[in-house]
Amino acid sequence: MKLDNSNGKLCALTNSSADSFPADISPPHNHDDAEEIFVPPLNFAMVDNGIFRSGFPDSANFAFLKSLRLRSVICLCPEPYPEATLEFLKTNRIRLYQFGIDGCKEPFVNIPHDIVREALKVVLDDRNHPLLIHCKRGKHRTGCLVGCIRRLQRWCLSSVFDEYQRFAGAKARVSDQRFIELFDLSCLNHHPLSFSSSKK
């Protein structure tokens, strides 16, 4: 397996000559034997066991996504889902949950609490795992949802904000962090937590 890392460089062990292969392993003889390249989506990361986050995946990421054996995808963008990606999900029996949140810029950011609450219910149901959460860039909308997950995991706010800022970078929004801090989790208290850090 070859993995294309975030810098766009291939990470793979190579051998300078056929003599360097062990006696029982032969090098590929033609291009038909070339290995598949696995390219993660933009801003891809593991949130917890069975939960991943990223920017909007495209066809270059399909082999990588297939390796995750996803059951579900949560899309936080309101735009129609690309046909090629829909076909990939259908072929691999991956269920799409689309919760449309407009990608507004400050100071006109309006994150609907009810939509985030419904998305969290999908995340909390481990029958949907493994699961990928994504928006366009994997920064703001995804960051808000993951921030609420971290609060459910009882992370301290400084750690929640550190993680949010690591993905948002220079485009971190005070309004997003305020949303995460003030989001009412009380209606989700009756949902069982299946996260690794909640079992400690």
Positions marked catalytic = 135
DSSP string, 58-121: -GGGHHHHHHTT-SEEEE---SPPPHHHHHHHHHTT-EEEE-------TTS----HHHHHHHHH
Contact 113, 184 (CB under 8 A): yes
Would residue 117 be called left, alpha or beta, if left means φ above 0 and alpha means ψ between -120 and 50 degrees? alpha
**Residue 146 and residue 166: Cα distance in Å, rounded?**
12
Rg of the chain over CA atoms, in angstroms?
19
Contact 101, 112 (CB under 8 A): yes
